[in-house]
Amino acid sequence: MLRYLKAILYLLAPRLAFSVTGVLFPDAFDNLFLVYNILMTLAFWLAIYSVDLPEK
């Protein structure tokens, strides 16, 4: 189960980034919102990549 957790989080990261960006920057213009969304997605992917899950 834990070995698939990273893959699931990688797939959910863009949606999570979209939600977080919408909450943090609700008044951003379209292009700026896209830049924030891409940066937030990359930040989530790097955070997920850096997590070490214990293997059994």
**Does a structural domain hold residue 42?**
yes
Widest Cα–Cα separation across the chain: 47
Domain that includes residue 46, residue range? 2-50
| Structural domains of the chain, count | 1
pLDDT band at 56 (very low <50, low <70, confident <90, very high): low
**Does a structural domain hold residue 56?**
no
pLDDT, one tens digit per residue, over 14-46 is: 998 888 888 888 887 778 888 888 999 999 999
**Residue 21 pLDDT:** 84
**Does a structural domain hold residue 16?**
yes
> Which candidate, 22, 25, 18, places its Cα nearest to that of 44?
18
Handedness of CA 41, 15, 30, 28 (dihedral sign): negative
Q: Counting every residue, how long is the chain?
A: 56
Query: Is the pLDDT confidence value at 13 over 80?
Result: yes
**Enclosing H/E stretch for 32:** helix 30-50
- Given a contact cutoff of 8 angstroms between Cβ atoms, the answer to whether 35 and 21 are in contact is no
**Residue 28 pLDDT:** 74
**Does a structural domain hold residue 55?**
no
Query: Is the pLDDT confidence value at 54 over 80?
Result: no
**Does a structural domain hold residue 22?**
yes
**Residue 53 pLDDT:** 72
